[in-house]
């Protein structure tokens, strides 16, 4: 930040008691905190709290700034997976009422990250920001919830006689570069250049996928299946692409179609998207406190080699990742500060609320459902329908359209996730030990609203009127009149998306802890 016009004879602040003394002296005219700085006076600490601090360049006596930060973050996440059911049992369903409280599993996730960041001063109040979070370890597990492991055939039922997955379930341990980000922050107002205005920072960031996108996997060696099979490997045996019947292959589940011989693939670690983030925040230093507020928005766009390509189809109701918008406000308290020695202690408390729109996403059941051996999950659906050459409107049961068998759609594990909110409180302690080094220590607690994670619908109502493409999306009145209600959604799987069979996430909490060290040149 730019130099603040400050008299160093009045800049030592040692806690709130010393602050009161400084206030009294200032009020009596003995000293003023904002007196013009003389040429022969030393440079002093003149930056806002951490949240609105922008590294800059070409300031008087400080032509260039560079901050390098290395941090470690660990996240613990826990959630309960439940499912809709029409079972007539106490606490579940009665009559025609459908409950969504059938206990399925408890989800646990632990993620360790190494956060690498560089802030490079470009000009006054303008900084280039480079970030690269590296996931050191990401583990996910599903366990029984209140005895659900003893009735798996019931709570995890697919079609009659099949089970979607088994408990306990463990995903592979993932690691690698999450993404590479490059952005720009600039302060359009700076309280330390113009004391009549607050500090107001705007910024944007691009995030680029540099690692293998995540793929659904089963890390249980006893399952006997390919660890990370291709979606078109319907037998989960490392064979995909060719017709298994032609290849002379068979399985216990019966012969199904596949694609080429290629084995498995990597579990991956990234979200498989290119993202754009924009943010803005404003703060105002008032003696020993600095309140602030702001927002940020994140937009994601799938890359070509991710599994999103398999769901980007005409009939899909939702084929994009969710949009995320966050509002936050907080308070930074500076209880101790010696400006002429560049020393400061800051305690920050913040609340933020995030709205996550409906979108296709990696849910808590991504690996479990995406690697399922259940026939209802691995049998392909079809991307489009065409006119039935044998259609006869006078014949009962005759359909005006049939599936185009040349365009198969396989299930990848990505599901349509209902919109939800995330609420988070956090606190951070910052100690700036001197002119060239500072440390951050923080923690956060977050709670996520309940929401469905298998939320697709059978038909896309945006396409109406063409019965040659309607498939099963036709309703028949009592008088026999047929009405096209849309076209089939190729990503719809009745065993998980039909009302009464859907899965939801409940009681989700996440705890984060982090420590950062920054060197400042």
Percentage, residues of the chain above pLDDT 90: 62
Residue 43's pLDDT is what? 60
pLDDT for residue 31: 35
**Separation of CA 299 from chain center:** 11
User: Tell me, what's the pLDDT at 9?
Assistant: 34
Mean pLDDT for 297-316 is 90
Task: Report the alpha-carbon distance of residue 278 to residue 182 in Å, rounded.
Answer: 12
Is the Cβ–Cβ distance between 226 and 233 less than 8 Å? yes
Residue 146 has pLDDT above 80, yes or no: yes
**Is 401 part of a structural domain of the chain?**
no
Length of the chain: 521
Measuring CA to CA, which residue among 292, 268, 301, 312 is closest to residue 352? Answer: 292
- pLDDT-derived band at 64 (thresholds 50, 70, 90) equals confident
What's the CA gap between 6 and 482, in Å, rounded? 80
Band of the pLDDT at 334, cuts 50, 70, 90?
A: very high
Residues 6+ apart with CB under 8 A from 202: 185, 186, 187, 188, 278, 279, 280
Beta bridge partners of 118: 68, 130
Is residue 383 in a domain? no
308 contact partners, CB below 8 Å, separation of at least 6: 272, 273, 302, 319, 320, 321, 360, 414
Q: How many helices (H) and strands (E) does the chain have?
A: 6, 26
pLDDT per position as a tens digit, 78-100: 999 999 986 655 555 444 556 77
pLDDT digits (tens, 9 = 90+) for 459-484: 999 887 778 888 889 887 777 777 88
- Of residues 328 and 18, which shows the higher confidence score? 328
Q: For residue 168, say if its preceding peptide bond is cis, omega within 30 degrees of 0.
A: yes
Those residues whose C-beta lies under 8 Å from the C-beta of residue 451, and which sit 6 or more positions away, are 417, 418, 419, 420, 504, 505
Residues contacting residue 381 through CB under 8 Å, at least 6 positions apart: 408, 409, 488, 490, 491, 492, 493
Q: Provide the pLDDT for residue 37.
A: 52
What's the pTM? 0.85
290 belongs to a structural domain? yes
Return the pLDDT at 42.
55
Number of domains in the chain: 1
Q: Which residue segment(s) compose the domain that 319 sits in? A: 8-228+265-372+411-456+491-520
What's the pLDDT at 8?
37
Pick from 335, 248, 329: nearest CA to 281: 329
* Half-sphere CA count of 425, side-chain side, radius 13 A: 1
Is 18 inside any structural domain?
A: yes
Nearest-angstrom CA–CA distance, 84 and 505: 11
Higher pLDDT, 49 or 327: 327
Say which residue, 385 or 257, is predicted with more confidence: 385
Residue 420 inside a domain? The answer is: yes
3 within domain boundaries: no
Q: Is the dihedral of CA 154, 155, 160, 166 positive or negative?
A: negative
Least trusted range by pLDDT, from 396-405, 436-445, 508-517: 396-405
With respect to residue 260, please indicate whether it lies within any of the assigned structural domains: no
Going by DSSP bridges, is the β-strand pair 459-460/487-488 parallel, antiparallel, or unpaired? antiparallel
Strands (E), 222-342: 273-283, 289-302, 324-338
Whether residue 95 is contained in a domain is answered as yes
Token output for 453: 């994670």
Query: Which run of H or of E encompasses 135?
Result: strand 126-143
DSSP character at residue 478: T
| 8 Å CB contact between 139 and 107 | no
Handedness of CA 357, 362, 368, 371 (dihedral sign): positive
Q: What is the mean pLDDT of residues 508-514?
A: 98
Strands 126-143 and 437-448, bridge-based pairing: unpaired
The whole-angstrom separation of Cα 380 and Cα 242 is 14
Collect all residues with Cβ–Cβ distance below 8 Å to 427 and sequence separation of at least 6: 347, 348, 349, 350, 442, 443, 444
- CATH number, position 324: 2.40.160.40
pLDDT per residue as tens digits for the range 102-139: 999 999 999 999 999 999 999 989 999 999 999 999 99
């Amino acid at each position: 930040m730019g130099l603040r016009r400050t008299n160093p004879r009045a800049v030592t602040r040692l806690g709130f008691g010393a602050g009161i003394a400084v206030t009294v002296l200032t009020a009596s005219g003995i000293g003023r905190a904002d007196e013009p700085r003389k040429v022969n006076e030393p440079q002093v600490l003149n930056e806002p709290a951490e949240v609105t601090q922008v590294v800059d360049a070409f300031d008087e006596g400080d032509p260039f700034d560079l901050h390098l930060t290395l941090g470690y973050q660990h996240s613990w996440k826990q959630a309960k997976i439940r499912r809709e059911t029409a079972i007539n049992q106490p606490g579940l369903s009665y009559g025609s009422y459908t409950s969504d409280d059938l206990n399925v599993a408890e989800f646990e996730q632990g993620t360790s990250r190494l956060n690498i960041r560089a802030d490079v001063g470009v000009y006054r109040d303008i900084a280039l920001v480079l970030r690269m979070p590296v996931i050191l370890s990401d583990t996910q597990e599903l366990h029984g919830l209140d005895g659900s492991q003893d009735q798996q055939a019931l709570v995890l039922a697919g079609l009659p006689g099949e089970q979607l997955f088994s408990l306990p379930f463990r995903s592979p341990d993932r690691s690698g570069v999450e993404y590479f980000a490059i952005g720009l922050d600039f302060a359009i107002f700076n309280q330390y250049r113009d004391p009549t205005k607050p500090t107001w920072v705007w910024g944007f960031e691009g995030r680029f996928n540099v690692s293998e996108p995540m793929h659904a996997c089963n890390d249980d060696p006893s399952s006997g299946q390919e660890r990370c099979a291709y979606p078109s490997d319907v037998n989960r045996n490392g064979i995909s692409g060719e017709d298994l019947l032609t290849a002379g292959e068979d399985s216990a589940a019966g012969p199904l179609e596949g694609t080429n011989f290629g084995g498995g693939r990597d579990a991956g670690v990234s979200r498989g998207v290119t993202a754009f983030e924009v943010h803005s925040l404003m703060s105002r230093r008032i003696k020993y406190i600095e309140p602030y507020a702001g927002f940020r928005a994140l937009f994601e766009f799938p890359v070509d080699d991710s599994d999103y390509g398999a769901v980007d189809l005409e009939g899909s109701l939702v084929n994009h990742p969710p949009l995320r918008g966050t509002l936050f406000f907080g308070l930074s308290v500076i209880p101790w500060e010696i400006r002429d020695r560049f020393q400061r202690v800051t305690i920050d408390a913040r609340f933020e609320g995030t709205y996550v729109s409906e979108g296709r996403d990696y849910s808590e059941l991504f690996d479990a459902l995406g690697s399922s051996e259940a026939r209802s999950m691995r049998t392909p659906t079809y991307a489009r329908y065409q006119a039935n050459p044998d259609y006869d409107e006078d014949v009962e049961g005759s359909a005006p359209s049939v599936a185009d068998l040349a365009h198969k759609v396989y299930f990848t594990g990505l599901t349509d996730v209902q919109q939800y909110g995330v609420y988070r409180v956090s606190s951070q302690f910052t100690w700036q030990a001197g002119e060239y080094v500072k440390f951050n220590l923080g923690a956060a607690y977050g709670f996520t609203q309940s929401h469905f994670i298998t939320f697709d619908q059978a038909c896309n109502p945006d396409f109406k009127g063409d019965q040659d493409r309607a498939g099963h999306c036709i309703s028949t009145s009592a008088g026999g009149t047929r009405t096209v209600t849309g076209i089939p959604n190729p990503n719809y799987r009745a065993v998980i998306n039909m009302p009464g069979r859907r899965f939801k996430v409940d009681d989700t909490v996440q705890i984060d802890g982090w420590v950062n060290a920054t060197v400042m040149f």
